[in-house]
């Protein structure tokens, strides 16, 4: 990767391929064109997943995630997944029930 350290686009694409699970879901919720460089991506990632990250939510928090009237279904699903990613050891039955509600 040292050979490509000056190619931000390539570095970002390679980084994205290493993500799995909740982290990959989080990555796909980033607003389009919000990352301008690999340094930006590194900073956002570090803030999200550092040990100083805010306390995780409980699963009942998902029942408060409502679709805004002007929000597209696609944007709502992205936001819902981002909130679900904040929950530690979340059983799938609770997010499913919250999403259906």
Q: What is the per-residue pLDDT for 13?
A: 87
In tens digits, the chain (101 residues) has pLDDT values of 556 677 888 888 888 899 888 888 889 888 888 888 888 888 888 888 775 445 566 777 788 888 888 989 999 988 888 888 777 666 677 788 888 77
Write 91-94 long-range contacts (CB < 8 A, 24+): 91/59, 94/59, 94/60, 94/62
Q: What is the per-residue pLDDT for 32?
A: 85
Q: What does the alpha-carbon distance between residue 58 and residue 44 come to, in Å, rounded to a whole number?
A: 23
Q: Tell me the whole-structure pTM to 2 decimals.
A: 0.46
- Where are the domains positioned within the chain? 1-53, 55-101
């Amino acid at each position: 990767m040292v050979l490509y350290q000056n190619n931000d686009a390539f570095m970002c694409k390679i980084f994205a391929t290493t993500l799995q699970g909740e982290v990959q879901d989080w990555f796909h919720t980033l607003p389009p064109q919000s990352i301008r460089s690999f340094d930006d991506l590194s900073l956002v990632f570090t803030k999200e997943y550092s040990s100083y990250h805010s306390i995780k939510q409980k699963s009942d928090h998902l029942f408060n995630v409502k679709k805004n009237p002007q929000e597209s279904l696609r944007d709502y699903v992205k936001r819902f997944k981002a909130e679900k990613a904040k929950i530690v050891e979340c059983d799938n039955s609770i997010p499913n029930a919250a999403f259906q509600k």
